[in-house]
Chain A
Amino acid sequence: MLGLLETGSGFWSAIIWIVVVLVIGSIVIYIRNKGEDSYKKNTEQDKPFISGNPEKSKEESHLGASHIYWGFTEALKGYYNPLVKMHTGNINDYSGWIIVITVIILIMVGVSG
């Protein structure tokens, strides 16, 4: 069949996947369209709830890229600080890394026989 990719321990077919997604998706849409009984239009249910804080204007509410994954980078500080420090941007270090890795590989290839 067209689109059947053998991976050695199974197969992958994008066509079958799309058919499955369409079937599941139509079921989901059907359930969603049945609606929710407790919802009433034009009440406080329509308004966003920000823990009691006043709602900001739309232009101010956009979250900049630096704020995203703040917790992730904060938690992994011990990993990130040395890593960022390693990227010095100094051309001496760039060539230094190449020489060091070349020497390591020369030794590895030479020793392995």
Chain B
Amino acid sequence: MIGNFPYVAVVIFIGLGIYTLMFKKNLIKIAIGVVLIENGVNLFLITLGYRKGAIAPIYTQAPSGQAMVLPTPQALTLTSIVIGIATTALILSVAMMIYKHYGTLDTDQVRRLRG
């Protein structure tokens, strides 16, 4: 039961992110919503590789017979975090440009393109 706890956290993270994206009206908060979903997915990936009582997957220092956590999900998560930083930085800088021209960050105002 306690082993499933990270998955519950994943669902909460993604659910909060989706809620933020759908109902929060501030562009910065929308950026935070994207980051929340991203953290949920990263947590999901890293949990997949977890084995109970296992050690870090470093072959040279491992005692023989000891279980190791899976290294691949960690590599995936690391890549995903790096990409996430690029995404977040881009979203925030574009939000900055929007603020410069529109003078507001309210999603109800930032909709000159419609119809």
Contacts and interface: CB of A to CB of B under 8 A. Distances in A.
Complex A–B touching at CB under 8 A: yes
Interface in B7-56: 18, 21-25, 27, 30
Contacts of B30: 91-92
B114 A92 contact: no
A88 interface: yes
Contact of A88 (B22, B25, B114): B114
Chain A contact residues: helix, strand, loop or mixed = helix
Interface string A88-101: 11111001100100
B82 interface: no
Q: How large is the interface on B (under 10, 10 to 19, 20 to 34, 35 or more residues)?
A: 10 to 19
Contacts of A99: 18, 21-22
Contacts, number: 33
Interface residues of A, number: 10
A84 interface: yes
A75 to B, nearest CB: 19
B104 to A, nearest CB: 13
B111 A95 contact: no
A99 to B, nearest CB: 6
A89 B114 contact: yes
A47 interface: no
A96 B21 CA distance: 8
A62 interface: no
A34 interface: no
A90 B22 contact: no
B115 A90 contact: no
Contact of A95 (B22, B112, B115): B22
11 contacts: A87-B114, A88-B111, A88-B114, A89-B112, A89-B113, A91-B27, A92-B21, A92-B107, A96-B22, A99-B21, A99-B22
Interface of A: 84, 87-92, 95-96, 99
Task: Name the 9 nearest CB pairs between A and B, nearest first.
Answer: A89-B114, A89-B111, A95-B21, A96-B22, A84-B115, A87-B115, A91-B107, A89-B113, A90-B107
